[in-house]
Amino acid sequence: MDPDFEGRVLVIANRLPITIKPDAEGNFDYTMSSGGLVSGLRSLARVVDFKWFGWPGLDVHRNDKDRVRGQLHDQFNAVPIFLQKDLAERHYNGFSNSVLWPLLHRMPEKVGEDGGWSDAYLEVNEIFADNIVPYVEDGDLIWVHDYHLMLLPGILRERLSKKKDLRIGFFLHTPFPSEDYFTILPFREEICRSLLLCDVIGFHTNEYARNFLDSARTVLKDVAKSPHDLHWAGRRVILHGFPIGIEPEEFTQKVQSAEVQKEIAKLEKEFNGQKILLGVDRLDYIKGIPQKVRAFDRFLTAHPEWVGKVTMIQLAIPTRADVPTYQRLREEVEQLIGHVNGKHGTFTHTPIHYLYKSLNPEQLSALYAVSDVCIISSLRDGLNMVSYEYVASQVQRKGVLMMSNYAGAVKLLPSCVAINPWDLPRFAEKIGDVLDMPPEERARRQEENYNVVSKWTSVSWGTSFLNTMITLEIPQTEAPIDRDRIGESSVKDEEAGKLQS
């Protein structure tokens, strides 16, 4: 972090990074959440004055609002932005996750419709601005996060036009689609104008930054672009890939803890003599869980000699469980797994162990550490932190990471085994290749991936973005690889892969 910077950083996200639970006596318990954003800024908070803004995640009664507001300020330097339950629902599960989410992931067929969702999205962005403006001082850095608040930077810039040396940054934690998908988006002109009123716009990869450059030029027409910035209405805006990371030592140390070693011993006893394939995914249609299950089914059908010698453990973390699209996905996944277990199972062996739940950190760490292969089969994914967590947890076992060509992290981790989740024959074939991979190759791949994970951490991500906001200079350090896998990541090849399945 630039040592000469003496200002404040206002961090704005849809949700506060704090879990709030009311107890039976009418009091509130507060705990800091985990995650990339929180861990990425934790170390920086020692030298920078952070103030958090966001929805507290629950509908607080009006009589309790002042108390919650004061406690969050005193304990976390956080400002809650209260929303009525119905408005929060229409903004979050409505427009944000039923319109923006599928379009950003290039899945227009998943888009839902409701006449009130777009109004709710605009209203919530305005309410956030209402609550933030009174706190802003000259010289502040305002850092807005993610697709829930894409109209907020423009609203703030217009309302705060008289503030001196005010800088606004925006970071998108999802992919940014190519222009043919972006032009489907509602509010596409307003979204472009809002983001172009930032000083810095960050994406997970430079590919997503290039997509936004092309989209902005198509939508607004009067945008001039260069490789890492653009010019619009007399403004220069920096765009760049800032791949988020983790703090790997947290995972390597956790594996050595007594609690995790105890969990590892249980798993090794239960799956003695078997290879373990691991899937850790939110139960979201972007994660490609059905494709993974079908590929495993195809592998066992082609290689019956592996039945009883390999087990897939699929952790499906519940998300948006009250949305019909996600309810149908759960039914599909569970029917597929039942089919595979019925087809390939024996009296003493279950091919797929399926968990529809969240695990505590010790249990998850043990799963990472004990598995031989981790399979990430996303159909579209901004980056994917599971890949980083798995690599950081595999220092001893040297497990192999299989990752979809459509996950952002495949361009950053040099030695994962890349897969096309739509191409089931080759996907199934690569499962066999990985299970038979020689120990020396497993070790080489693990070392190369770990070198990236240990260098491109969450702290380096946060530092790089904030320093870019302070200096308004394009970062000199590029992402570690950020490569395009020629011939496997285009829409044309994606459709061809679907036909092969």
Please, is 109 exposed, middle or buried when counting C-beta atoms within 10 Å of its C-beta (0-12, 13-18, 19+)? exposed
Q: Which CATH superfamily is domain 8-241 in?
A: Glycogen Phosphorylase B; (3.40.50.2000)
Every domain range in the chain assigned CATH 3.40.50.2000: 8-241, 248-455
Tell me which long-range contacts 156-163 makes (C-beta under 8 A, separation of at least 24).
156/129, 156/132, 157/197, 157/198, 158/197, 159/129, 159/133, 160/133, 160/136, 163/136, 163/137, 163/138
Q: What is the pLDDT of residues 294-308, one digit of tens each?
A: 999 999 999 999 999
Torsion of CA 144, 146, 151, 153, to 10 degrees: 20
The beta strand positions in 24-90, using DSSP E, are 28-32, 49-55, 78-80
The pLDDT value recorded for residue 467 is 93
- Residue from 457, 319, 323, 481 nearest 403 by CA: 481
In whole angstroms, give the CA distance from residue 343 to residue 296. Answer: 12
Token pair belonging to 375: 């399979």
CB atoms near residue 428 (< 10 Å): 20
In whole angstroms, give the CA distance from residue 3 to residue 5. Answer: 6
Strand pairing report for 417-419 and 400-404: parallel
CATH architecture of 248-455: 3-Layer(aba) Sandwich (3.40)
Q: Which helix (H) or strand (E) holds 315?
A: strand 310-317
Query: Where is average pLDDT lowest: 58-67, 194-203, 404-413?
Result: 58-67
The pLDDT value recorded for residue 487 is 31
Are 327 and 369 within 8 A, CB to CB?
A: no
Q: For residue 5, which amino acid is it?
A: F
CB atoms near residue 473 (< 10 Å): 9
Please, is 361 exposed, middle or buried when counting C-beta atoms within 10 Å of its C-beta (0-12, 13-18, 19+)? middle
Q: What is the pLDDT of residues 198-252, one digit of tens each?
A: 999 999 999 999 999 999 999 998 888 777 788 998 899 999 999 998 889 999 9
The pLDDT value recorded for residue 62 is 86
Q: What distances in angstroms separate CA 206 from CA 244, 246, 396, 465, one per listed residue?
A: 13, 19, 33, 14
Q: What distances in angstroms separate CA 385 from CA 132, 281, 322, 417, one per listed residue?
A: 30, 10, 25, 16
Query: Where is average pLDDT lowest: 254-268, 323-337, 480-494?
Result: 480-494
Are 118 and 148 within 8 A, CB to CB?
A: no
495 — pLDDT class (breaks 50, 70, 90): very low
